[in-house]
Amino acid sequence: MKGEDINYLKKYLSADKALKVCILDNNSIEFLTRIQCCIRPEKIFSQYDIILVPEWVWIEVCDSENRKDYINDLKHYSKVQIIDEVDYLILVDYKEAELYYLFLYCCYNVSRLVSFIKKNILKNRPIEDLDSYEEWLNIFYEEGLDQKKLSNGRIQRKNAGEISNDVIKCNMSYLITKKLEWR
């Protein structure tokens, strides 16, 4: 599931056919595990061409064997891809400034995160002088998100999954726009 080539994913998502893409978050997965006795996953997921699970969400999913097994079983109904947030850069054709703005805008509902990004990542510099995407993404993930240590020892980062999902949705919009330009 994990480790598939991101360029393949980009090519797949940029194909000339309309794709049905499902992007899952941890809360949705938990809910789906609870209703699977009433609504079989096949009924929900067989309509999708691909199911995306951002890496930050996958980390949360792995806190529960039940959620992890649920995602692993979805490969019977659709293509499942766990996508590392570092690879989002490839999806936007290596345009780091655009990716910075995607993260910034996806954080606007949490003003503390917007302040953190402007103060600790942009650092009152022009966008052209940003550190590399991987560097500032790591700072954002390690220092910007509220953290809590769970009983299993993992550090839970508040809003990480939601932000990652929002950014991937924006990436999908970007790819759709590019697809229209290519025609």
Report domain extents, the chain.
Answer: 6-182
> 57 with 161: CB under 8 angstroms?
yes
22 φ, ψ to 5°? -110, 130
**Bridge partners, residue 53, by sequence:** 82
pLDDT tops 80 at residue 16 = no
Strands (E), 6-150: 21-23, 50-54, 79-83, 147-149
Tell me: the pLDDT tens digits for 120-178? 999 999 999 999 999 999 999 999 999 999 998 899 898 888 898 888 888 777 666 65
Q: Residue 10 above 80 pLDDT? A: no
